[in-house]
Structure 1
Amino acid sequence: MPIADLNDRARDIFRAVVDAYLISGAPVGSRTIAQQAGLSLSPASIRGVMQELEERGLLAAPHTSAGRMPTERGLRLFVDGMMQVAEPSAEERAAIEARASSGGPVEEALATTAAALSGLSACAGLVLVPKREMRLRSIGFVSLSPAQALAVLVSEDGAVENRVVALPEGMGPSALVEAGNYLSATLAGLTLSEAKQRLERELADGRAAMDGAARALVERGLAVWSEDGERRPVLIVRGQGRLVDAAALADLERVQALLDDLDGKQEIASLLDSARAGDATRIFIGAENKLFALSGSSVIARPFRGQDGRVLGVVGVIGPTRLNYARVVPMVDFTAATLARLMGLQGQT
C-alpha cells in the first residue's frame, strides 16, 4: 500500500501506534496515543481511525480490549515509507570499530564484531563470509582402504584439514606418495583455486610428471576440496541469548521457534546470501521469508564489499519483528562499512 493512500490523521495515528509498539512490544490503546502523541484528538476519534487502519490490514487487535499492534504488512509500510533513521552515536560507532580492529585472526575479529552488534541492537548478530581459502604448504594422502584415502592439507599458517577422497582403481601406496610429493612441490604457496588452475594447465600441457593413477587422484582430491570450500560459507552467530527478553518470555513457543531457526545455519546462510545482490540494506519481516513464518522474526542484512566492488560478506541482525528498525538499520550499515575496511586491510597484508 502506498503511504499516500493514508490521510494525514491516519498517518499520524499509525506512526504513533507503531512507535509505541516498537518501544513496549505490547498492543497500544487509544488512550495511550491520546496522552502521548500530542494529536489533539479524543480517544474515541483515535479508536475510529485505528479501526479503519485495522480494516486496511495495517493494524491488528490480538484481544478484544487489548489495543492494537502493527501487522507485518503495517511494519513493511512503516519501514519503507515512514521510518526516520537515527544514526549510531559516537559511543556505538567506537564500540563497533574497537571490536573490529582488536587484532588476531580475521575470523575472530568478525565474531567479536558480531557480538558488539548484538549487544548494541539487543538482537542476535550475524556475519556471513565465504570460506577463506588456505594457502598450501603441503599435501599428502593416507590410505584408508583399497577404495578410499584421506587427503591431508597443511596451510602456511599451520592449519590442518582433512577430506576423504575416492581412489582410482588399482591405486598403490607408491602412487599415493608420488601424488603427495608432486602436489607439495608444485603447488606450495597457492590457494586451492590457484592450485587447481595450475594443475589443469600442467595436465593439459603434459608437464605433470605423474603416472595415470596419481594424476587421477590429484584431480579428484583438488576437485572435492575446492568445491567443498566454495559451498560452505562461514556463518557466525552471536548473542542468541538476547532474543529471550522479558517480552519474549510471554511467548515461549515463538522464542523456541526462533532459536530452532538459528540452529538451521544452512537456511540462515542462504537467506543472508540473498542479500549479497545490490548495495542497499535488506529487511525481511516475519512471514515475508518462509524461514521465519512461525517465529515471527525479522532480519536486517547488508553486504560489505572490497575496494574492487566484490562482495566480501554479509552482516546483519535477527530479532523479533518489533525491533527498533530506525536505530538498528543505520547500525548495520555502519558495521558493514567497518567490516569492509577491516577486510580490505587484511587483504593488503
Structure 2
Amino acid sequence: MTNVPLTELTNRAREIFQLVVEGYIEDGTPVGSKALASNDRLELSPASIRSVLADLEQMGLLAAPHTSAGRMPTETGLRLFVDGMMQVAEPSRTEQAAIEQRLLENGPIEQALEATSTLLSDISGAAGVVMIPKRENRLKQLSLIRLSETQGLAVLVSADGQVENRVFALDAAVDSSDLEQASNYITGRLSGRTLAEALKVLRHEIASEKNALDTASKALVESGLAVWTQDPAQRPVLIVRGQANLIDDGALQDIERVRSLLDDLENKQSVAALLEDARTANATKVFIGAENRLFALSGSSVIASPYRDGEGKVVGVLGVIGPTRLNYARVVPMIDFTARSLGKLIG
C-alpha cells in the first residue's frame, strides 16, 4: 500500500511508527518490540506493540528484513515521516557560524564551492555534492590549426588561463592563410567576450557586412566559435566529496548496495540531471530511494536545495547523497542554511 495519509494512523500507531523510524535512522538496524517496550514514551506490552507493528507492516510503512528481526521503515514509510512527522529546527548559532566560517575561509568562489561539498559531507556523514553554476569561459585567445584536409583543431585559451581543445570539420579548400586570418580576427576582435557573445557579434557583423574577412575565414571563425558555445550546456560541472563516508560498518553488510551507489556517483552527468530537478524548488527537496531512477537500485536518498545569487537567480544546486537512513531532521535544515549562506557569498 502506498500514499498512506497520516490521519489513518491512531495516536498509538503514530508514536510507535515514529520510534521505529528514529531508531532506524540512529543506528541503521531494525527496531524490535522489546526495544520499543523499554521506551518510557510507551506504556504497552511487547504483545500490544507487536500487534501495532504488524498493522504498520500491513499498511506498507514498515518491513521486517528477517523473520526474527525487528522492523524498519519502507521508502513509503520514510516519505510519510519526512512529509508529515519530522520535526526540524534551524541550526544553532554555533553551527551557523561554523558553516559560514568554512565557506569564507576558502578564497575564490571555486574553492568555496569545493569547501561546500566537503562541508555537506561532514554534516551528513554521506557524500556532499555541489553543482557549479554554468559559466562560459571568456575568450583570451583562440587559434585554429590544420590537422588534416578535413579536420581542424580549435585551441581555446580562456581569461583564467585554462587551455582546452576541440576538433571541428575543415573544408579541404581552406589554406593556412585562412586559418591564420580567422585566428587573428577572433583574438583581436572578440577577445574578452564570452563565446556566445563572440558568436553573436560575429554573426551580426557578417549579416551587416561590417568585417573584412573573406568567405572562407568567415566560415572558419563561425565554426571555430560554434564548437565551443555548445560546450557549457553539455558538460555540467559537479563536485562530489565524502564518498568514503558511505562505506561504514553497516554498509559493509550490504556491500552490493554500496558498490551500486558508488558507481552511480561516478556518473556525474546523470547526477547533475537529477539535481536539476531541484532547481525550481522553493526549498530543500528530498528524494527517497526509488523516487529517483538513478539511485533506485542502491536504495539511496538525495537531499538537495537550489542556491541563488544576489539577484535571487538560481545558479546551482547543492545537497547530499547517502543511504535512506539519513538523519533528515538534522540534514534538511543544514542544507537549507548552507544554500542561503553560499548565495550570500556569491552575491
TM range (shorter): over 0.9
- State the partner residue of 1:347: none
Tell me, yes or no, if the aligned pair for 2:63 and 2:74 is still in contact at 8 Å.
Answer: yes
Q: Does 1:301 align with 2:304?
A: yes
**TM-score (normalizing by structure 2):** 0.96
1:235 is displaced (CA, Å) by 0.5
Contact 1:144 1:150 in 2 (8 A): yes
Determine the C-alpha separation between the residues in 1 that align with 2:161 and 2:270. 31
Q: What displacement does 1:160 show?
A: 1.6
Among all aligned residue pairs of Structure 1 and Structure 2, give the percentage whose two residues are the same amino acid: 60
Between 1:136-145 and 1:72-81, the stretch displaced more is 136-145
C-alpha distance in structure 1 between counterparts of 2:103 and 2:138, whole Å: 24
Q: Tell whether 2:133 aligns with 1:130.
A: yes
- The answer for unaligned runs of 5 or more in structure 1 is 345-349
State the TM-score, normalizing by the size of structure 1: 0.95
| TM alignment of 1:154-165, pairs within 5 A | 154-165=157-168
- Paired letter, 1:46: I
Whether 1:119 aligns to 2:122 is: yes
3-state SS, counterpart of residue 307 of structure 2 = strand
Code of the residue aligned with 1:334 in structure 2: it is: F
Q: 1:218 to 1:38 in 2, by over 3 A?
A: same
2:247 alignment partner, one of 244, 247, 255: 244
Residue in structure 2 matched with residue 52 of structure 1 by the alignment: 55
Query: Does 2:29 align with 1:18?
Result: no
Give the distance between the partners of 1:107 and 1:282, measured in 2 at CA.
Answer: 24
Deviation of 1:37 after TM superposition, in Å, equals 4.9
1:193 matches 2:160: no
> What is the match of residue 284 of structure 1?
287
Per the alignment, residue 215 of structure 2 pairs with: 212
1:84-103 alignment to 2 at 5 Å?
84-103=87-106
> Which of 98-107 and 174-183 deviates more?
98-107
* Equivalent residues of 2:106, 2:115 under 8 A apart: no
Deviations along 1:238-282, whole A, 9 cap, x unmatched? 000001111111111111111111111111111011111122211
Q: Give, in angstroms, the shift of residue 47 of structure 1.
A: 0.8
**3-state SS of 2:34 partner:** helix
Amino acid at match of 2:254: D
What amino acid does structure 2 have at the position aligned with 1:288? E
Map 1:217-232 to 2 at 5 A.
217-232=220-235
Structure 1 residues 76-85 or 301-310, which shifts more?
301-310
**Unaligned 5+ runs, structure 2:** none
Answer whether contact 2:144 2:152 (CA < 8 A) is retained.
yes
Q: How many residues align?
A: 344
Which residue, 14, 25, 31 being the options, matches 1:28? 31
Q: Deviations over 1:100-159 (max 9, x none)?
A: 222433222111111011012101000012332222122111111111111112122222
Q: State the one-letter code of the partner of 1:157.
A: D
Q: Is the 8 A contact 1:130 1:312 kept in 2?
A: yes
Give the whole-Å Cα distance in 1 for the aligned partners of 2:172 and 2:102: 52
> CA 1:261/1:25 → structure 2, altered by over 3 Å: closer, same or farther?
same
Superposition misfits of 4+ residues, deviation over 4 angstroms: none
- The one-letter amino acid of 1:68's match is R
Map 1:318-329 onto structure 2 (within 5 A): 318-329=321-332
